[in-house]
């Protein structure tokens, strides 16, 4: 579906079903993609969530995928864009689910707009989320090199060797293809936004809602050893782990992602903040 958000066209996937939050088990889930990605990173997860009775909004962030640009250059700006998306979709309160860069956006939005966020799920998260200088510079001069490097580091070796995906789909190719079709310059902007965001731990301390940290056990992009400061800063946090999985968990272990999100939603159903009237 398409909406006008902050005066620009926004493309939004809804998990293969019409967006009907009134018929859903929980408030709508907003799925926020990572750097140089778009809503298709969530395709299988979104479908699994809607099949389980959830209402899903998976937007292409500004300047990504089929959404009009320009891309926003900071995590803070993206966090301020999300309430405009909720307003356009006539959603008073949502459950934010963010992956990688999207986890920072979701975190900052939850801290800034607590009444709009009933629950928070952070996948492949770390705060801060530094990016090596070599990647930052190469993302401008040779983005395809960085796309291939990110694909390699986002997936486990068994998944890459076996092909993944099933039914003739080359799983690693899915991750790579989504990034390769991102508009020129988006990768460099997104990586710089992640690298420049220094408010993560302060934002985490202000999050008022139940929060899930969903961790990939073999994540080399945001490894478990970097998660402790963020986990300690969050007031109401539950941590779940997908053991044999890399950073691109929605591709490599989509069904496990869905199961863990549904487990979190069920476990925290009684703790939802009342929606805005």
Residue-wise burial string across 224-256, b where 16 or more C-beta atoms lie within 10 A, e elsewhere = bebbeebbebbeebbebebeebbbbbbbbbbeb
On average, the pLDDT of the chain sits at 94
- The two tokens of residue 176 are 């790579």
Report pLDDT for 170.
78
Q: Which domains does the chain have, with CATH numbers?
A: 2-271 (3.40.50.1820)
pLDDT at position 269:
87
Higher pLDDT: 163 or 137? It is 137
Predicted TM-score of the model (pTM):
0.95
- Band (pLDDT 50/70/90 cuts) for residue 62 is very high
Residue 166 pLDDT greater than 70, yes or no: no
Confidence of residue 261 (pLDDT cuts 50, 70, 90): very high
Segment 73-84 mean pLDDT: 98
Residue 207, burial from CB neighbour count under 10 angstroms (0-12, 13-18, 19+): buried
- Provide, rounded to the nearest whole percent, the portion of the chain with pLDDT above 70: 96
């Amino acid at each position: 579906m398409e909406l006008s958000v902050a005066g620009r066209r926004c493309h939004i996937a809804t998990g293969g079903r019409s967006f009907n939050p009134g018929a859903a088990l929980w408030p709508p889930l907003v799925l926020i993609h990572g750097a140089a990605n778009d809503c298709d990173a969530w395709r299988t997860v979104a479908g699994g969530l809607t099949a389980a009775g959830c209402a899903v909004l998976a937007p292409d962030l500004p300047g990504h995928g089929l959404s009009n640009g320009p891309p926003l250059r900071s995590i803070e700006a993206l966090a301020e864009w999300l309430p405009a998306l909720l307003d356009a979709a006539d959603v008073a309160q949502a459950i934010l689910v963010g992956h990688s860069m999207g986890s920072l956006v979701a975190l900052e939005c939850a801290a800034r707009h607590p009444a709009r966020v009933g629950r928070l799920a952070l996948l492949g998260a770390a705060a801060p989320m530094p990016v090596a200088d070599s990647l930052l510079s190469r993302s401008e001069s040779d983005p395809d090199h960085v796309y291939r490097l990110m694909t390699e580091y986002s997936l486990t070796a068994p998944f890459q060797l076996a092909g993944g995906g099933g039914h003739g789909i080359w799983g690693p190719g899915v991750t790579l293809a989504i990034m390769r079709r991102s508009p020129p310059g988006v990768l460099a902007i997104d990586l710089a936004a992640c690298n420049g965001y220094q408010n993560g731990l302060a934002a985490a301390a202000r999050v008022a809602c139940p929060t899930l940290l969903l961790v990939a056990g073999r994540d080399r992009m945001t490894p478990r050893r970097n998660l402790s400061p963020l986990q300690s800063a969050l007031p109401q946090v539950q941590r779940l782990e997908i053991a044999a999985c890399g950073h691109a968990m929605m591709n490599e272990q989509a069904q496990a992602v869905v199961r863990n999100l549904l487990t979190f939603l069920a476990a925290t159903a009684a703790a939802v903040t009342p929606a805005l009237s």
